[in-house]
Amino acid sequence: MSAYFITNGDDEEARCFEVETLEDGRYKVVTPEGQEVVIDAYAPENGRLQMLIDGASYDVDVRAKESEHTVQLRNETHHVNVLNERQKRMRVAGVGARGAGGPDLVSPMAGKVVALQCAEGDDVEEGQCVIIVEAMKMENDLKAHITGSVSTIHVSEGDAVEIGDVLVSIEQA
């Protein structure tokens, strides 16, 4: 079962939906309130879903750009962000320059530091790549969560890191 975190376009607190693909191709969704819903979904073309939920038919228009989705259902338009567990951890840790607070950029994943893109004393802009961590054979650019000066680099290239380890401290400008 996979967990997906949904927020509206105003970035309200994320609500977690658990999704399981059933053997017959349908999906079992567990809402944040614990309600189980079985959904039969079909995508006749890119950006369009036809769904059966509890015997009711829905025709849904979905436009996605990365984790941001615009969903149109029955003359209503909703703007939502959909994140899996890894994306949520990365956002909270400041990857993509969103969600982190304080001076410390922490690792959203276990992995290995493969490159430092800054040095102590460097000025960095919010959203600028400051370190690259490899996890599951993928390189992940970790970005400054604030604009400021790099005060301390807590790791070296080749170091193993765990979720929550402090990587870089940035003094806000």
pTM over 0.75: no
Which ranges of 9-121 does DSSP label H, i.e. alpha helix?
A: 85-92
What does the alpha-carbon distance between residue 66 and residue 69 come to, in Å, rounded to a whole number?
8
DSSP 13: P
pLDDT (tens place) for every residue of the chain, 173 residues total: 777 788 876 656 678 888 898 999 899 999 999 999 999 999 888 889 999 998 999 999 998 876 688 999 988 998 888 877 777 766 665 554 444 457 999 888 888 999 999 999 999 999 899 999 988 778 888 999 899 999 999 999 999 998 888 999 999 87
For residue 4, what are the contacts with CB-CB under 8 A and spacing of at least 6? 16, 17, 18, 19, 82, 83, 84
* Domains along the chain with CATH numbers: 2-84 (3.30.700.30), 93-172 (2.40.50.100)
Which ranges of the chain does DSSP label H, i.e. alpha helix?
A: 85-92
Quickly count: other Cβ atoms within 10 Å of residue 21's Cβ. 11
